Amino acid sequence: MEAAAEGLWGLADHHEKKGEIGKAVKCLEAICQSQVSFLPIVEVKTRLRISTLLLKHSHNVNHAKSHLERCQLLLKSIPSCFELKCRAYSLLSQCYHLVGAIPSQKQILNKGLTLAASSAEGFSAKLWFCNFNSQLANALIIEGDYQGSISALESGYNCASEMFYTELQMFFATSILHVHLMQWDDVNLVERAVNKCNEVWESIQPEKRQQCIGLLFYNELLHIFYLLRICDYKNAAQHVEKLDVAMKADMQQMRHIQELTKELNALNLSLSRSDLHYRDRSALSEKQAQLEEQLSNITGLSSAGKETLEPAYFGNVKRAWGDKLELAPPPIDGEWLPKSAVYCTLHLEVIIVLQMKGSFNDVPRFITEIIVSCADELVKLGINDGVREVDLQHSAIWMAGVYLMLLMQFLENKVAVELTRSEFVEAQEALVQMRNWFIRFPTILQACESIIEMLRGQYAHSVGSYSEATFHFIEAAKLTQSKSMQAMCQVYAAVSYICIGGPESSAQAFDLIGPVYRVMDSFVGVREKTSVLFAYGFLLMRQENLQDARVRLATGLQIAHTHLGNLQLVSQYLTILGNLALALHDTGQAREILRSALTLAKKLYDIPTQVWVLSNLTALYQQLGENGNEMENVEFQNKKMEELQKRLDDARSSIHHIELIDKTKIEVHQLHELDIKRAMDGPSSMRVNLDIPESVGLSTPAPTQSSRLIDLDIGRRGKRRI
């Protein structure tokens, strides 16, 4: 009977290579369903193979799980077979992960850890011990057990150290940093984790480092998230540039591989001809061997490919070798995200850095291209127009969540950039897209609800609807558990109240600013501090407390210039300080400051701030009696006012304008209890605030602060001075 089993295994191999997965599975299931009994080990190997095929090529996780549970029962009666037992435990753990059965996953992983720890298999046992600890850490993260996750990863790290396996040590060191970034209880612990990654990375031999491209991306992106969180944009930009170079080099290599593969396939087709002359066949065979050797040297794989029972990825999207960024050796083969998602995440960081530098020329086009790329990935997961959350295959929820969250963050940045450039209609369209995606996937994108409300507030503020803006900012603060997000929304609402004007609005602004101002030094980084200092200084100026206002604003400007590098915020600081200098009759300083502010506003294509600066310059020239400069300035000011007014009129005449600024929350279809369980039970770790790109399983870098803090007196700028 063993010969029959081997024959069916070979036939299944043949069908798999031809892409006929259904036929391959039927061949293997014939063994399991046979009336005649096979040896238990034959049945175990067959069921393992079926499970692997189902996990790689289908969403049929429950079917794979049933085969693996049967494997587990059969293996209990077999005293040895260490490798098969470990493979069964590992695959079954991933099945439980995909169906959201985390308690069962932890139970099976603990069995695997016990087996690996008691085994005399040496190096292989240690690798499996690392595998199980890695998966256990992931399961514990889903339950929010950060300390348990770190303990599991530290066990894996210690095991890798005993093996003197530096690449594996790096895998666990970066994973520990990842968890610390998610938890962020103590900045010193995070910093130590960062330093540990640097230490281990430097201990890897340079030639080996070049082969660890997955670890390179993982490590560098985690460093970027850390640096963005602490507002060290200068060093973050250096890491972004380093990864951008690595990404372009990898893409170039992949193109070369595709060309070689295409040439090899054409050559194989020629060799399949039966009428080929012997001499021609010999020449083609020699060429075939050369091409296969070239491919092998580049990819590190044989011409037969890399065979393993481990699916090595989550989400059940079949991907070729080149689409993976592996983090660790078999049997771990861990990958953080698919290569396309990693590249999208890097593009997101590039966009953040470009915004901080004020390089807005190509950002909108770049964002649009990446949004299309994310949408294409979602289509591959079966998410077409009309597909909603409850329509998703359970096993696709996690991967769908990754791309949906990335898509939402690109749209968020698009809204911010377009508002800065006074492209209000473009901002509307991106914001409407965000709203529509949220309505279709409210559970997966739950963390985005507060972001959407905040952006509605920024849009309303930008078009001069200050009362509506305050409503949306306050709603956004209610919808998030992030202290940072709450603080920023309170500051935004306060600025809108100041723009409304009047004693009552000023009092409401002060009530919002006060609590944030008192704790501004408790936040990680200086984003909240620079924002609240700006709002407080602005309020004091409106209340004609000019000297105190100047102190607050000067302090905030210095911090923003030194640490944030946010040119838009610096531009607005300069504008308001120029206005203050003008009010204090310090015309020399006012001229210098306002000219700098105008230069920055022009660089950012920020028309409202340009108009604001120009109105102040007009007042300055009036004070100095410089009639020529005043006339020239007024002409330019009127031109900009007309341009701004046209854009505002276009925005207000849009069908989306009223629904976006309206003082109502977004209504979503309430899922039935069964639907909610189906959507939430899965491996979706979306219970996070949007503080670092959380789409990638992190408690992410802070939302970009490219959005405007103030858009003063839109439509009235020429009529009143501050």
Q: Are 397 and 368 in contact (CB under 8 A)?
A: no
CA 204 to chain centre: 28
- What whole-number distance in Å separates Cα of residue 466 and Cα of residue 594? 25
Average pLDDT of the residues in 358-386: 84
> At residue 132, does pLDDT exceed 60?
yes
Average pLDDT of the residues in 244-265: 87
φ, ψ dihedrals at 359, nearest 5°: -90, 80
pLDDT at 32: 77
Asked if residue 378 is part of any domain, the answer here is: yes
Average pLDDT of the residues in 370-377: 89
Average pLDDT of the residues in 191-212: 91
Overall domain count for the chain? 1
More confident residue, 722 or 580: 580
Average pLDDT of the residues in 351-377: 83
Per DSSP (E only), the strands in 452-600 are: none
Lowest mean pLDDT among 19-33, 460-474, 523-537: 19-33
335 by DSSP, 3-state: which? strand
> At residue 716, does pLDDT exceed 50?
no
Assign 279 a pLDDT band (cuts: 50, 70, 90): confident
Asked if residue 504 is part of any domain, the answer here is: yes
pLDDT at 395: 67
Asked if residue 320 is part of any domain, the answer here is: no
Lowest mean pLDDT among 187-191, 627-631, 675-679: 675-679
Asked if residue 530 is part of any domain, the answer here is: yes
> At residue 618, does pLDDT exceed 70?
yes
Lowest mean pLDDT among 220-234, 331-345, 479-493, 590-604: 331-345
pLDDT at 195: 95
pLDDT digits (tens, 9 = 90+) for 55-106: 888 778 888 888 888 888 888 888 888 888 899 999 999 888 888 889 999 9
> At residue 674, does pLDDT exceed 60?
no
> At residue 572, does pLDDT exceed 90?
no
pLDDT at 696: 30
Query: Tokens 């057990």 correspond to what residue?
Result: 145
- What whole-number distance in Å separates Cα of residue 199 and Cα of residue 515? 41
CATH number at residue 688: 1.25.40.10
Burial class (CB in 10 A: 0-12, 13-18, 19+), 119: middle
- Could you give the residue ranges of the DSSP H alpha helices within 185-272? 187-203, 206-211, 213-229, 233-271
Lowest mean pLDDT among 83-87, 407-411, 683-687: 683-687
pLDDT at 300: 59
pLDDT at 4: 79
pTM: 0.81
Which two three-digit tokens encode residue 680?
């939430």
Concatenating the DSSP letter of every residue in 525-552 gives: SSHHHHHHHHHHHHHHHHTT-HHHHHHH
Average pLDDT of the residues in 112-132: 89
> At residue 439, does pLDDT exceed 90?
yes
Specify whether the backbone of 438 is left (phi greater than 0), alpha (psi in -120 to 50) or beta.
alpha
Assign 676 a pLDDT band (cuts: 50, 70, 90): very low
Q: Are 353 and 243 in contact (CB under 8 A)?
A: no
pLDDT at 316: 34
> At residue 304, does pLDDT exceed 60?
no
Concatenating the DSSP letter of every residue in 101-170 gives: -HHHHHHHHHHHHHHHHH---THHHHHHHHHHHHHHHHHHHHTT-HHHHHHHHHHHHHHHHHTT-HHHHH
Lowest mean pLDDT among 51-60, 129-138, 144-153, 211-220: 51-60
* Total residue count of the chain as it appears in this document: 722
DSSP 560: I
Asked if residue 319 is part of any domain, the answer here is: no
pLDDT at 340: 86
pLDDT digits (tens, 9 = 90+) for 38-61: 778 888 888 888 888 888 887 788
pLDDT digits (tens, 9 = 90+) for 593-609: 999 999 988 888 889 99
Asked if residue 64 is part of any domain, the answer here is: no
C-beta neighbour count of 82 within 10 angstroms: 15
Asked if residue 462 is part of any domain, the answer here is: yes
> At residue 685, does pLDDT exceed 50?
no
Host domain of residue 496: 339-696
pLDDT digits (tens, 9 = 90+) for 4-23: 777 778 877 777 777 778 88
pLDDT at 567: 80
Asked if residue 268 is part of any domain, the answer here is: no
